[in-house]
Structure 1
Amino acid sequence: MTDRLAELNLSALDPEQLRAATAPRGPVCIIAGAGTGKTRTITHRIAHLVSGGYVNPDHVLAVTFTSRAAAELRERLTMMGVARVQARTFHAAARGQLKYFWPKIVGDTPWRLLDNKFALVARVARSAGVQTDKTTLKDLLGEIEWAKSSLIAPEDYPAHIGPDRRDCPVAPEQFVRIFEGYERAKVTPEGVLMDFDDLLQSMAGAIEADRGVADEFRSRYRTFVVDEYQDVTPLQQRLLDAWLGDRDDLTVVGDANQTIYSFNGASPEHLLRFSTRYPQATTVRLFRDYRSTPQVVDLANNVIGRATGRMAGTRLQLEGQRPAGPPAEFTEYPDETAEAAGVAERIAALIRSGVKPSEIAVLYRINAQSAAVEYALDSAGINYQVKGGEGFFQRGEIRQAVSALGQAARREQARAKLIVSGDAAGADDTTADGAADDASFAGTGHLVGQVRAALVPVGLTPAEPTGAQERARWQSLEALVNLTEELAATTPGLDLAGLLGLLRERAQAKNPPKVESVTLASIHAAKGLEWDAVFLIGLVDGTVPIRYALKGSHSGEAIEEERRLLYVGVTRAREHLELSWSQARQPGGKANRRRTRFLDGLVPWEKERDEQRAREAASRPGRVKGAPKDACAVCGTRLTTPEQRILGVCEEHAKEMDQVLVTELRSWRSALAKQRGVPAYVVMSDATLRAVALKAPTTPQQLVQVPGIGPVKVEQFGEDILGIVRNYS
């Protein structure tokens, strides 16, 4: 056994990784921070269990969050000589299991995967008397998926709207009718339609209800590994519980600091309570960050270190292991256009310094933020790709390229047959049709040369062409060649036929190669990825945290998830990290935006700027010493208008108050004025609302001190105002 373990090179693991990889069979919880080598740890744990004779590889099921992660896990295990382990997503695993067990569960009634849920939901909505557009249909489907993944029945949904901060697109009773109608409509005379949640639900139900199915499944799979465990939904946990039964041979890997999918029903509770459920579990915390420089790691620690609420105690303090790098950059721009142009300029500088475009990413909170950056990059002549757009293997040029490779593979097979039959002349003829002879492949490898030759008719030229469309096509083809080089290097003896098989698996796993262009992506879409340089843009309150996270009685939890989202964005960077925000949306617009609260105290130059402003204000003539009612509370400048005196600050510092809070206070005032049938100013003046936003009182005693609010208004409106302030502070 020692010799076999030596082949795994366990000496390459750090002490924590080694402890996790070699832990005994049974429950193991690996708390793996960003960049701490969790995939290496998982693969070595599986390989250790297999090579040590503790488990049969055919009895291991590893579950990942995405198809791309599953494909990467399979590739790594294959390279380690552990090829028979199953690595799938929850849905892919359940689909395969259901196909096998369906006849035993249901009999001859056929089922098929529902490939167009939109059409079905639209039909059901119309029958329920609800007229919907495409956007509403997407929202309806999203709510149905959330409810099913959260194990919430249609009739119970209305009770969860408030506590779970659901934004129901129609009246709750209408949604219940649509949800129930959708479930009924999937049972047809031709058979049963299954959506992805049904796969999990049906397989869990089958194991729970049928002892024969349970025994057969559990005799097949006995050891389980679950990645990204902080993001499992209640439905996924139910299926996992069904798989396990009363066994505990389970390894989970996760990080509560990276919980960012609560809106989809994901919950970190199972990770947080793992040691309670399994008191005998081995728990290992991976904290050595091998991805990012100490400068990036320090900022990440500072961002998440201010977390509050139930997960504050789960923080993992990362320790950077890489050499020092440049400090994180913080930039404030006058408007979004200037921000996009500035980011494009910085990207161009990085590319000139030697950073590959494929190692640069621009990340944002919402997809709509990409528009200005796309224009700026295009104007600067910088290639980019928007993650979440058309898939690499679905592009027209790649489809043509794969077809050309298929033809080349068939020619190679025909040539091999002719050689075996002794027809050397015929074999020579087969190389003349669009292919080069073996000598032309010298220096680049035989397979890579074959691929390049096959792609010449499709548009692969020796040099990158001009023109946006032609350049994009060439980039895709060149990326396919680069992928071939990677696969050939890790798969000895790979030929064209084998390459096509690997490409098909990559296409199914949605695992494209790197294209030499800058990546634009939402922070959610960037989860699990990393780049040498990352630009986090649009970091203003109302975007990060997103506006809807600031509303409602449960806004505290939502705001903390937004903090974790920024943490995930920061930890995507290996070396260069730049964070930016703009004061206005449009050029010349009002500079009333507030930089995200999550960077409070973390922007080095802000303290110096504020001190400089105070020094300048102190030297201005007109400051009235000893007369606080007539002087700005921030800088001491003389107040010259009644509104400035009410606010207690000058015009310059009035601009810095929380505009998001002012907007919400105005909405509250408008609703109250409408209810009472009086003008809005009768309830409270704009100046008083701005004073509330500036002072941000949290108690009745503090509120009564705000200019324009006395004891009567505190008694009438105090509870409402303080509640709004607490939600937005």
Structure 2
Amino acid sequence: MAVDNSVILANLDPEQLAVVTAINGPICVIAGAGTGKTRVITHRIAYAINSGVTDPTKVLALTFTAKAAGEMRARLRGLGIANATARTFHSAALKQLLYFWPYAFGGQFPSLLTSKSGFISQAISRADVAIPASANALREISGEIEWAKVLEISPQDYHEQAVANERLVKLPNNKGENENLAMVAQVYEAYESLKKQERGLDFEDVLLLCVGMLEEDRGVRERVRDQYRYFTVDEYQDVSPLQQRLLNLWLGNRQELCVVGDAAQTIYSFAGATSNFLLNFKNRFPNAQVFRLSRGYRSTPEIINTANKILRQGNLVSDHGDELQSANEHGEKPAVNGFNSSGDEIAYVVAEVKKVIAAGADSSEIAILARTNAQLDQVKSALNNAQVLSQIRSGERFFDRVDVRDVMRLIRSASVLPSEDGDWYADLVAVLRPFGDADYVTAFLRLAKSIQENGGSNMRAFLREIEDRAEQNNPPTLPGVTLATLHAAKGLEWNQLFLIGVSDGVLPMGNDLNEERRLFYVGVTRAKQRIQITYAGKPSVFLEQFN
């Protein structure tokens, strides 16, 4: 049962309240980092449902990570909205493809690739090109294939388009850039051929096939449009042309669309995303209402002032809306420390992390962010040597682990046996006790405690949450210090943050200085209370403001 509107509208600031009560689209919300946009989105959906504007089954809320979609669903459940759909673009498209495949295509659904690496490695051999199949090379080629497919560039057109767009591909073969791009085109063609031969689909194919199905089959298109009539898109600055094309097909001629984004956090241009759809929203919908959220609830004034300076330094403020203003108490000024070598830098950060933990900080509220995965591998090794538990945030599928599947079976069995005293959390602790202090046990118990404190009345509520997370590959927070690239840190936050490698040639990296500056901005705005920025050798140009 949905909660009362007075509860939905309580404790919103005036800007948030204006968005939540604007329940008829189209609307565009420019929401700065930490301004409460997830709360605003979910409260607006709940308010619209309570007000009779839409039915919960007609809602489709879209975002870009399983974690963000899971957070939306959890918050909507907390507002009494249990059956609204919140998914990533890929997840929503896949669900539609699976449902309509027998009707639209016939035959068995192809196998879905969870990683491109295996097929790309085979494609390199099939194309017979001089590319060592290292992890870095596979990652680079995978990124190029994804960029090409979201822009609907065929293997035959890839080389010409890649040269025109000044694509940089770092391959360990000492070849020239033009030759590298030509080889990637050959691998791309072999990859698509191999995929067709093996009846496999990658995640970009899911979007492409869903677009094709909706464009070509009027019956399917009308059924989908009848299903979903009230749209919300989070992180709209990260939409690719292909995702926008799919959104257009879902929406049709209707205008019940709310988009939320922040052009200052556009960090996926290299992968085909563009903030143009956000910035030009009024061009497509001249009657759209535009709102701005600029009151930051995540970070201290000192951290927010630093973030504002980063945008100001690159003359990016006017393009991206208002500067952030902190609603929090003052804290420490961001610290910057330089070192002669990356080894010295990492040793310092590890020592600082140990000091913070010894002072009583929860290790899961500490993160170390870097520009590349290679930097994180070095940090992980140093933390292991110092016996500090840490987790690299990556694409590992937590719910595919055998130990996790085993413990979920036990939880499923225990959920049908209600506790006599009603303390289901105590029952869960007993169920998990034989598994000791394994990382998944700690993560499950922390999640269960949060669900209990937010009104979860039995273990079945917890089971629904973890099964929902398993379906969406959205693991709970694991214990230990988080290690993440700046891109992987998007949408997350920590009390204590170490941003390493802010050095010349590392951050910024590549040709697009503004994109790198926005990436630095995203990194800084992940910190809630304290941030330390470090570099080795020559400092980044981005640190000039810290002099």
- TM-score normalised according to structure 2 size: 0.90
**SS, match of residue 496 in structure 2:** strand
Pair 14,163 (structure 1): closer, same or farther in 2 beyond 3 Å: farther
Structure-2 residue corresponding to 1:251: 258
Residue identity over aligned pairs, in percent, reads 41
* Conserved? CA contact 1:58–1:86, under 8 Å: yes
Pair 149,127 (structure 1): closer, same or farther in 2 beyond 3 Å: same
**SS, match of residue 20 in structure 1:** helix
Structure-1 residue corresponding to 2:152: 151
Structure-1 residue corresponding to 2:188: 179
Structure-2 residue corresponding to 1:672: none
Cα distance, 1:24 vs structure 2: 4.3
Structure-1 residue corresponding to 2:388: 382
* Conserved? CA contact 2:494–2:527, under 8 Å: yes
* Conserved? CA contact 2:124–2:133, under 8 Å: no
Structure-2 residue corresponding to 1:452: 429
Counterpart residue identity of residue 568, structure 1: V
Q: 1:485 aligns with which of 449, 453, 460?
A: 449
Cα distance, 1:175 vs structure 2: 4.0
Moved over 6 A (4+): none
Matched, 1:567 2:521: yes
Structure-2 residue corresponding to 1:271: 278
Q: 2:215 aligns with which of 208, 217, 225?
A: 208
Matched, 1:602 2:546: yes
Q: Which moved more, 1:501-510 or 1:179-188?
A: 179-188
Structure-2 residue corresponding to 1:228: 235
Cα distance, 1:224 vs structure 2: 0.9
Cα distance, 1:255 vs structure 2: 0.5
Distance in 1 between residues matched to 2:491 and 2:427, nearest whole Å:
33
Q: Deviations over 1:400-452 (max 9, x none)?
A: 4334435545xx64xx8xxxxxxxxxxxxxxxxxxxx96xxx8xx72222222
Distance in 2 between residues matched to 1:455 and 1:229, nearest whole Å:
40
Pair 105,256 (structure 1): closer, same or farther in 2 beyond 3 Å: same
Matched, 1:56 2:55: yes
Counterpart residue identity of residue 448, structure 1: Y
* Conserved? CA contact 2:456–2:462, under 8 Å: no
Structure-2 residue corresponding to 1:303: 310
Cα distance, 1:172 vs structure 2: 4.6
Distance in 2 between residues matched to 1:303 and 1:563, nearest whole Å:
7
Structure-2 residue corresponding to 1:513: 476
Structure-2 residue corresponding to 1:530: 493
* Conserved? CA contact 1:361–1:533, under 8 Å: yes
| Unaligned residue ranges in structure 2 (runs of 5+) | 172-178
| Unaligned residue ranges in structure 1 (runs of 5+) | 417-436, 461-472, 550-554, 584-593, 604-729
**SS, match of residue 519 in structure 1:** strand
Cα distance, 1:479 vs structure 2: 3.0
Q: 1:288 aligns with which of 287, 295, 315?
A: 295
Cα distance, 1:16 vs structure 2: 1.1
Pair 13,63 (structure 1): closer, same or farther in 2 beyond 3 Å: same
Q: 2:204 aligns with which of 192, 197, 207?
A: 197
Q: 1:328 aligns with which of 318, 334, 344?
A: 334
**SS, match of residue 388 in structure 1:** coil
Radius of gyration: which is bigger? Answer: 1
Distance in 1 between residues matched to 2:381 and 2:95, nearest whole Å:
44
Structure-2 residue corresponding to 1:241: 248
Distance in 1 between residues matched to 2:349 and 2:428, nearest whole Å:
36
Counterpart residue identity of residue 164, structure 1: N
**SS, match of residue 330 in structure 2:** coil
1:612-631 aligned within 5 A: none
Pair 219,455 (structure 1): closer, same or farther in 2 beyond 3 Å: closer
Structure-1 residue corresponding to 2:90: 91
* Conserved? CA contact 1:260–1:562, under 8 Å: yes
- TM-score normalised according to structure 1 size: 0.69
Cα distance, 1:200 vs structure 2: 1.1
**SS, match of residue 526 in structure 1:** coil
Structure-2 residue corresponding to 1:20: 19
Structure-2 residue corresponding to 1:318: 324
Number of positions where the alignment pairs a residue of Structure 1 with one of Structure 2: 535
Cα distance, 1:80 vs structure 2: 0.6
Q: Deviations over 1:342-377 (max 9, x none)?
A: 223322333343322211111111122234433443
Distance in 2 between residues matched to 1:345 and 1:127, nearest whole Å:
48
Pair 187,327 (structure 1): closer, same or farther in 2 beyond 3 Å: closer
* Conserved? CA contact 2:30–2:321, under 8 Å: no
Cα distance, 1:541 vs structure 2: 0.8
* Conserved? CA contact 2:31–2:292, under 8 Å: yes
Q: Deviations over 1:149-182 (max 9, x none)?
A: 1122222222222342323566555544443444
Counterpart residue identity of residue 425, structure 2: V
Distance in 2 between residues matched to 1:88 and 1:539, nearest whole Å:
34
